[in-house]
Chain A
């Protein structure tokens, strides 16, 4: 619409003086450049707030988008008659969403309340794209009732350098899923509760003997992207007693790293316990879901997302009508009991999204109100309506998670032992380096070589060996 109006104006302009028509044509472009922008109409005195999220109705994270448009906006506007709230949906690859938001914030524009992956908080803060909530939202921030409901570990998702930049939306946890039917076929116990990596290998060997095509699916390679790091390398590293980034130092070619990659080698290095090709395929992860649902995979490391959205009996990507009977889950064991980080027997990794305030917001006060409103107990409950997932609020979780034993398991058993990724800008590249190390092992390299190559790459990324721990 805007375009046609604009051209119309230009045409009138062009007709006014016919003698120098060509010159006018030249001017059209210039005019078009200068006069045809969007006007942000902030109608008469009232406040307009915008929410940006990587979700879109009818597409990715559709429920979340619908929640914003159908619940948050009307409810908030009801309570604040002079505020108009709009929603700016995206629903694309996380990297692309991140790019768009970065560009917006870089040019000091963009929505007032913005969804971010917790892992981006550090780099956004370093770039000056976001500021601590208290700096933007004022004194009201510290007095918010919700803080007491969010466990400290979950609050960590929005914290960088000890300052709170965002409100966490919820979290997740990683476990081993297994197919009970296949386990029975292989004569394996139910419930299965492995306590060491060796037990996983043993189960895989039994499954293989029982004719299971892919006994173990441990995400590897670059094609799986962050799923390799979060569902593979990092839990293994934690199980070997090491975190990727602690006290300002990165984990390089350490014994823990060699152990983690060693497990990859055991699975993909010719034992037939895993399918190396599946790790290389561009859509390998989607395929792993489909194959699990078809009963071709014995053990699969995934987050609770797998339970909620993949094998979910009705709306899942690879629905399993008999999910509750067939799909078992168990905590990821450390290499050997007590060998995990903090001396744990079991380990996990967690992530989660946060919502931040745009420091360049014209209405920071109302924006905070909106943000706080979106994280109120009522809003959180509404957000979860019809689906079960782990929210950031204990009060809500207590109420909602009773419906799903698996998610209760995550909340009660897994979250206490979990760990989070470091929120610094170079992390995505370190993650890629980790993925490349697993890729090297999957295609036949040795764990030691891959680990050494990773060390070299890591030095280049983090500014030398001085920033790498032992």
Chain B
């Protein structure tokens, strides 16, 4: 990795980064910091606190952490992220990438196509699609399974939105892992196969070490996105009785429905902190073995 191949120099490099930086500063960092500040106030959308918000320090945070509904929501979110992103999307995405890597037929193109299609359809539309699938009275799924009246969304709300999100987001992991698998030299796999290694051993000994950093990026991104995914609201509205009320839905309810913007902002920041913990955990897990070199490669200047 030699620095500055195109001869940008500091000045031009800055000029290249600047437009994005300005936009990010104005429309991302600034409102984000403002939001974090709102989290320290009792600001509301309407009512007396809208006219005269007061600084309440960490009250919103202690209030949220003491609210059993928040704790339930946090737990649901962890299950949701774990089930749909880390296990579901990453797992299914990898399985698809692995199976499709050596196939070029029409079927595999079709599979790839529908997986990607479910990723790019507008979120407002997919809510209706899944509604039609899972509906209690005359949903397509009940018709297929001959289970009339089975209330998927009511009896298994969390499972429903987990499966939904696997459907929704697997494409990203699949694409990323497909690309990552291109980096595994076929000779390595052949060597493993000659040594009579089964697929699990091949994955463990040959594939995983080479795509470790891709796995890391994928987990970082999909966890972050899933943590902030509001789409399940379209499907269950957080219900029944909050049994699928993941944190983004909780924030929506608190900030928009109840108008408690200060509390909503505080919880948004808590979500950020939880994501940070996730990120650090991934870093530890995946970089544990050949630790320092890779951290240097990611954090410090390339050598």
Q: Which A residues have a C-beta under 8 Å from some C-beta of B? A: 20, 22-23, 25-26, 28-30, 33, 95-96, 98-99, 102, 106, 120, 122-124, 126-129, 221-223, 277, 280-283, 287, 424-426, 428-429, 432, 436, 439-440, 443
Contacts and interface: CB of A to CB of B under 8 A. Distances in A.
A104 B46 CA distance: 12
Contacts of A287: 137
Contact of B241 (A23, A28, A126, A222): A222
Interface in B1-51: 12, 15-16, 18-19, 22-23, 26, 44-51
A25 B151 CA distance: 55
A221 B241 contact: yes
18 contacts: A20-B15, A22-B16, A22-B18, A25-B15, A26-B19, A95-B257, A102-B45, A102-B259, A123-B46, A123-B47, A128-B50, A221-B240, A222-B239, A223-B239, A277-B136, A280-B154, A280-B241, A440-B241
Contacts of B137: 287
Nearest to B257: A95
B136 to A, nearest CB: 7
Contacts of B18: 22-23, 25-26, 29
A282 B239 contact: yes
B174 interface: no
A298 B99 CA distance: 55
A127 B153 contact: no
Contacts of B241: 221-222, 280, 436, 439-440, 443
- Specify which of A102, A120, A127 lies most central, judged by the most chain B CB atoms within 10 Å of its CB: A127
Contact of B50 (A122, A129, A280): A129
Given A120-B46, A222-B240, 15 more contacts: A25-B15, A25-B19, A96-B256, A98-B45, A102-B46, A102-B259, A123-B50, A126-B47, A222-B238, A222-B239, A277-B136, A281-B153, A281-B240, A283-B131, A443-B240
Contacts of B260: 429
Given A277-B136, A281-B154, A428 B50 contact: no
B235 A126 contact: no
Contacts of A283: 131
Q: DSSP class of A's interface residues: helix, strand, loop or mixed?
A: helix
Contact of B240 (A23, A95, A127, A223): A223
B236 interface: yes
B47 A425 contact: yes
Contacts of A436: 241
4 A-B pairs closest in CB distance:
A425-B47, A22-B15, A280-B240, A127-B50
A283 B233 CA distance: 12
B154 A425 contact: no
B19 A29 contact: yes
Contacts of A99: 45, 256
Nearest to B253: A432
B91 interface: no
A441 to B, nearest CB: 11
Interface in B211-266: 235-242, 256-260
Contacts of B151: 277, 280-281
B239 A221 contact: yes
B235 A425 contact: no
Contact of B46 (A129, A221, A281, A432): A129
Contacts of A120: 46
Interface string B39-71: 000001111111100000000000000000000
B153 A282 contact: yes
**Residue from B151, B153, B257 having most chain A Cβ neighbours under 10 A:** B257
Given A223-B240, A280-B241, A106 B50 contact: yes
A23 B235 CA distance: 47
Given A33-B26, A126-B51, A222-B241, A428 B15 contact: no
A424 B22 CA distance: 42
Nearest to A33: B26
Contacts of B259: 102, 123, 425, 428
Contacts of A426: 47
B215 to A, nearest CB: 35
A30 B153 CA distance: 48
A452 B39 CA distance: 30
B153 A124 contact: no
B50 A26 contact: no
B256 A282 contact: no
Interface string B187-209: 00000000000000000000000
Nearest to B149: A277
A96 B257 CA distance: 8
B94 to A, nearest CB: 32
B46 A127 contact: yes
B15 A425 contact: no
Contacts of B236: 282
Contacts of A277: 136, 151, 154
A44 to B, nearest CB: 35
Contacts of A222: 237-242
Contacts of A424: 47
B191 to A, nearest CB: 48
Interface in B257-284: 257-260
Contacts of A30: 22
Contact of B44 (A23, A98, A425, A440): A425
